[in-house]
Chain A
Amino acid sequence: MVAKRDFVVRFAGEGGQGMVTASEALAAAAAQVGYHVMTFVTFPSQIMGGPTWSQCRISVTPALSNGDELDVLVAFNKEAYNVHKDELREGGILIYDSEVFSIEDVGGDSTNIVALPYQELGKSTGNPRAANMVILGAIAEFVNWPDKYLSDFNVKRFTRGRPNDEEVVSANEMGLQLGKKASTDSGFSLGELAVPNPPDYEQILIKGNDSLSTGAIAGEVELFVGYPISPATTILTFMEEHLRGEGKFVYQSSSEIESITAISGGGFAGKRSMTSTAGPGFSLMSEGLGMAWMMEIPIVVVDAQRGGPATGLPTKTEQSDLYMAMHPAHGDAQLPVIAPGTVEECFYAAMHALNWAERYQGPVIVLSDHMLTERTQNIRKPDPNLIPIERREVYSGSNGYQRYDGSSVTPMPIPGGPGAYVANASEHDGIGDTTHLPQRHVDGTERRFNKLKTLEDSLYESRNTQHSVAVMPWGGQKGPTHEAYEFLMEKGVDVAWYYTMFLSPLNPKLIKELQDKDLVIVPELNYLGQFASILRQHRINAVAITQYTGLPFKVHRLINEITNMVEQHANESTKAGV
């Protein structure tokens, strides 16, 4: 039998029951032996309780999406079983705690069902926390993992220099064995998971927000002010922990209005300044973002998207803030937007954003999304040296400087140095005094837009560009679309691939290439088809595949829809005789 190449496990239950810990432990153990892993988490917004699930995908090739179907479902309670059972693939295995509910009561059907009283078994090891190990031991056995994988993980993870290390490790080991035995006794198997072939480059295992935050530190962020909000909070807490050293400042603000105006003050005073938020906070930043654009102050704002509008779906994923990211404020303004599509890109997006802000002297938006923020993934170890640090040009002449004269970026005076001016959010003359002369508004507006041209040299991906139909995902849906695309390539479907995380301004060369396509298909998680409509503004024939469930795309849906659209296009072209 051919070994399995891919393995998807979902842990579903109620917040606080340890689902996330379990799936992350499984991912970490698999990554240690060289598998590719990706976790996906949905949180309830309350601290205790509320339906939660976490999924772990383990693969011999890089994991691009969460995986459409489940090989194993671990149901921590009745509700979880009912909600998730239909996603178990045929032949998949259900594990449930037989002390918590009875499978007969909920009409358990013919699926392979393993009654595993893991909490009781956990307790029997002397350490109730070993319950997770019981589950992992059972799961590992279904795919014939050598004992060593989890045993080694256990020793490494729990040898923490604490007095009770040994007890914990041995209780966990006992848990693993109990799970394994239950699994063997059940007689079920999923077939062997192929041995991993570890990549020949160095890797790290990291969450999207940690990657982005580490990238910001690599990008030499100096001042960070933020207000807690899901799913951006972990960027703030990361900075509170790690942004240290001479001249660095980090603080929890009293609101997002304070965050945006404070970092504008920081950027004005010469520091690389940044904040992070999600939709509701981003809305509050609207006026401040317009201010920074008008005043020409380098700042970076991360919007970790969640479902909207208003308070929306705080713990679910969506890509519905793109319009807002580009045009967050009243008046003529268009902000640069970088939307990373993978956990690895989160790192570089933060570095690029800090550079962009310095280069064009204005606010830059990093548009992340819930799909990326809490996901743990193995990635190639990021190399900060790949992105040289860019710094704003600082004015060093004499006083009386007309800071805002000229048609594009000009050197910026920094308080404490020469060239005192007024950073002015009203339309202004060269030195920053308010003015209402029509020509000043013309010059100022054109200058502010001209500066964006300094950002037009960004990179993009393109493959199989000979085809007249292209698919172009953005942000966190890059992964599922990429997986669908690989499948379509194997099938021989004629479709090109385009992708960039630099959504605004788009590289003019990319625009030109896309204009030459008959059709550009944009899978995106929003109702309006926001990126597709932005592409249409560039006279690109873009059509969106939309979804607004709060969940990411399933790969099979993308495969079907893209295939249909390509076929339909081919038929229409034949009819039209082209």
Chain B
Amino acid sequence: MTKRNPEYDFKWCPGCGDFGVKRAIELTIKARTNELSIPTENNVMVAGIGCSGNLVHLTDGPQPFGFHGIHGRTLPVAFGVKSANPDLQVMVVAGDGDFLSIGAEHIGPQAKRNLDITCVIMDNGVYGLTKGQSSPTTQLGVVTSTTPGGKIESEVKPFPLYLSLGVSFIASAFSSQPKEMAAMIREAMDYPGFSIVHIQSPCTTYDDTYDVLRGNAKKGIDPLTYDIPDTHDSSSVEAAYDLVNGTGIPLGVLYAAKDPSPLNERFDNLGRKNDSRDVHDLIQSFAIS
């Protein structure tokens, strides 16, 4: 049940990281509406299938358009929406399973095209909606319902993967920090190119990682996350690799390629716009002469 729709019966579990992500997205869209005069209805949220994707039904306030399709296909849908109308602000919201397992094949092509959209990925290291199976980011050795003897497959490391695929803008965030998260989503949306904000968004039901991520002094757990130092040069791929290949999870903007040329701009540069063809001429070109 939501404030705006009593019939809608999906609920996130108490403490689910996705609540914070939702808040950050609402703040960002609102701020961009106010500051950049981008009407809410120019925003399209393309959602994956998973607990995370349900965010599209849960946002409060003025409503963007939503597209809640099939598992793993947010990126190609977003590609179609953005190419149909480059004025639209297209955002993908998806989980680690949706984006990095079934949908992984779509990241490379969009990165190479530099499709001007923003992906907000809620990584909980588990398949939440289907009740706790192993996901690509589940760590080696972890026991889940599909890995009862411990996971024997090593985990996908999203940041090196994104860097190697040539993603133009990569940020790392934590769902417990809505303000910082909102700032990164804002930067990603303003960035003219393919941007991913990859968020640690714990699943309190199947893999509660809050203590590990932010640390717990009482239990003697050091935080895994740390803020990227101001000295980091986010225009350098090498610097980004150095950060993500080290220990811990750096939070902040890892990489933002300079002078990206987004797909819609490249397409326009082909000069096809002013070259429209009359269908009668086209038919006539097959005339028997």
Contact = CB atoms under 8 A, between A and B. Distances in A.
Interface of A: 28, 31-32, 156, 202-206, 210, 214, 217-218, 222-223, 225, 242, 244-246, 248-249, 251, 253-255, 257-259, 261-271, 273, 287-288, 291, 295, 378, 381-382, 384, 399, 413, 415-418, 420-426, 429, 431-437
B184 to A, nearest CB: 24
B80 A265 contact: yes
B76 interface: yes
Interface of B: 2, 5, 7-10, 39-42, 44, 46, 54, 56-57, 63-70, 73, 76-85, 87-88, 105-106, 108-109, 267, 272-277, 279-280, 282-284, 286-289
24 contacts: A28-B288, A203-B287, A214-B282, A214-B286, A218-B283, A245-B272, A257-B73, A258-B79, A262-B77, A265-B79, A265-B82, A267-B80, A287-B70, A384-B279, A420-B41, A423-B67, A429-B5, A429-B7, A429-B8, A433-B7, A434-B8, A434-B68, A435-B7, A435-B9
B220 to A, nearest CB: 42
Contacts of B282: 214, 217, 242
A266 B70 contact: no
Nearest to A416: B42
A429 B10 CA distance: 13
A255 B105 contact: yes
Contacts of A399: 41, 63
Contact of A415 (B65, B108, B109, B289): B65
B276 A246 contact: yes
B109 A423 contact: no
Identify the interface centre among A31, A253, A254, A288: most chain B CB within 10 Å of its CB.
A254
A262 B79 contact: yes
A245 B274 CA distance: 6
Nearest to A417: B41
Contact of B8 (A254, A265, A435): A435
Given A245-B272, A418-B41, A261 B80 contact: yes
Nearest to B68: A424
B25 to A, nearest CB: 15
A179 to B, nearest CB: 23
Contact of B88 (A253, A264, A415): A415
Given A267-B80, A288-B73, A416-B41, 13 more contacts: A242-B282, A244-B275, A245-B273, A245-B274, A261-B80, A263-B80, A264-B69, A266-B84, A269-B85, A381-B287, A423-B66, A432-B66, A434-B8
B279 A214 contact: yes
A418 B108 CA distance: 34
A295 B69 contact: yes
A432 B67 CA distance: 9
A382 B283 contact: yes
Identify the interface centre among B54, B57, B68, B105: most chain A CB within 10 Å of its CB.
B68
A445 to B, nearest CB: 18
A249 B68 contact: no
Contacts of B80: 223, 225, 261-269, 273
Given A258-B106, A415-B41, A434-B10, A266 B275 contact: no
A269 B288 contact: no
A416 B65 CA distance: 8
B273 A261 contact: no
Contacts of A31: 288
B77 A265 contact: yes
A204 B273 contact: no
A262 B81 CA distance: 7
A421 B41 contact: no
Nearest to A295: B69
A291 B69 contact: yes
Identify the interface centre among A426, A433, A436: most chain B CB within 10 Å of its CB.
A433
Contacts of B57: 422, 433-434
Contact of A214 (B46, B64, B106, B283): B283
Nearest to A419: B41
